[in-house]
Amino acid sequence: MTAVVNIFLKDGVLDPQGKAAHHALDSLGFAGVDDVRIGKQIIIKLDTDDKVKAEAEAKEMCETLLANTVIEDYTIEIN
């Protein structure tokens, strides 16, 4: 199975890269942009066919290493 992990700064934690991209979009004339957040995506190939197990493993990986939960939130999608 494949775990697709998306990691973003928490709401309320200023995302300076998102802000810079937002300014750039504004100055390029893209109207109506309310907010831009930049995160990262990590794709993990797992040697299991058990969706529940895959999700539990990916969650442990996020909590241990992949995300810093002081400043970041993450989502996991299992395919």
Partner 1 sequence: MKVAVLRFPGTNCEFDTQYAFEKLGYTTELIWHEEDTLPSDIDLVVVPGGFSYGDYLRSGSIARFSPIMKTVIQFAHNGGKVLGICNGFQILTEAGLLPGALKRNNNLHFISKHQNLCVINNDNAFLNQCEKGEVLNIPIAHADGNYYIDEEDFKQIEANGQILLRYCDTQGNPVVVNGSVTSIAGVCNEAKNVFGLMPHPERALEVILGSVDGIRMLKGFSA
* Contacts to partner 1 by CB under 8 A: 9, 13-14, 16-17, 20, 65-66, 68, 70-71
DSSP string for 32-46: T-------EEEEEE-
Closest distance to partner 1 from the beta carbon of 71 (Å): 5
- Pairwise CA distance, residues 27 & 33, whole Å: 11
Nearer to partner 1, 10 or 51 (CB): 10
| CB distance 8 to 41 below 8 Å | no
Closest distance to partner 1 from the beta carbon of 3 (Å): 16
Q: What is the CA radius of gyration of the chain?
A: 16
Nearer to partner 1, 17 or 48 (CB): 17
Nearer to partner 1, 31 or 65 (CB): 65
